[in-house]
Copies of this chain bind each other. A is one copy, B any other.
Amino acid sequence: MSQDAAGDATTEGDLRNTGMSLKHDREWDYELERIIDEIEEKDAKKVGLQFPEGLKRRGPAVADDLRELAPDDVTFMLSGQPCYGACDLDTFLMRRTDVFVHFGHSPMKNSEKIIYVPLFSNVDVFPMMEDALEELPEDDVGLVTTAQHMNLFPEMKEWLQEKGYEVHTRKGDDRLTNEGQVLGCNYASADIDADQVLYVGGGKFHPLGLAMEHPDKKVVIADPVNNVVTVADTEKFMKQRYGAVHRAMDAEKWGVIFCTKIGQGRWEMAEKIVEENDNAYLITMDEVTPDRLRNFDMDAFVNTGCPRITTDDGPQFHKPMLTPGEYEIAVGHEPLDSLEFDTFHGTW
A289 contacts chain B at the CB level, 8 A cutoff: yes
Q: How far is the CA of A79 from the CA of B259 in the complex (A)?
A: 11
Main secondary structure of the interface of A (DSSP, over half): mixed
- Tell me whether B271 and A59 are in contact (CB under 8 A): no
Q: How far is the CA of A160 from the CA of B60 in the complex (A)?
A: 56
A292 contacts chain B at the CB level, 8 A cutoff: yes
Q: How far is the CA of A44 from the CA of B213 in the complex (A)?
A: 40
Instruction: Mark each residue of chain A from 267 to 297: 1 if its CB lies under 8 Å from any CB of chain B, else 0.
Output: 0000100100000011111111101111111
Chain B nearest CB from A101 CB (Å) reads 14
A20 contacts chain B at the CB level, 8 A cutoff: no
Instruction: Name the interface residues of A99-133: CB closer than 8 Å to any CB of B.
Output: none
Instruction: Mark each residue of chain A from 49 to 71: 1 if its CB lies under 8 Å from any CB of chain B, else 0.
Output: 00001101101100100000000
Q: Which residue of chain B has its CB nearest to the CB of A293?
A: B80
Chain B nearest CB from A9 CB (Å) reads 12
A81 contacts chain B at the CB level, 8 A cutoff: yes
- Tell me whether B291 and A57 are in contact (CB under 8 A): no
A317 contacts chain B at the CB level, 8 A cutoff: no
Chain B nearest CB from A110 CB (Å) reads 21
Q: Which residue of chain B has its CB nearest to the CB of A50?
A: B284
Q: How far is the CA of A63 from the CA of B278 in the complex (A)?
A: 11
Number of copies: 2
Q: How far is the CA of A281 from the CA of B78 in the complex (A)?
A: 7
- Tell me whether A77 and B284 are in contact (CB under 8 A): yes
A298 contacts chain B at the CB level, 8 A cutoff: yes
Q: A5-B2, A5-B5, A59-B296 are in contact. Are A282 and B79 (CB under 8 A)?
A: no
A85 contacts chain B at the CB level, 8 A cutoff: no
Q: How far is the CA of A2 from the CA of B293 in the complex (A)?
A: 13
Q: Which residue of chain B has its CB nearest to the CB of A79?
A: B284
Q: Which residue of chain B has its CB nearest to the CB of A57?
A: B297
- Tell me whether B296 and A60 are in contact (CB under 8 A): yes
- Tell me whether B77 and A282 are in contact (CB under 8 A): yes
A-B CB contact pairs (8 Å), 18 listed: A1-B1, A1-B5, A2-B289, A4-B289, A4-B292, A59-B281, A60-B298, A63-B281, A75-B271, A75-B274, A77-B282, A78-B296, A79-B285, A80-B283, A80-B292, A80-B293, A81-B285, A287-B287
7 A-B pairs besides A1-B2, A82-B291 with CB distance below 8 A are A2-B5, A7-B291, A60-B296, A63-B281, A80-B285, A81-B284, A81-B292
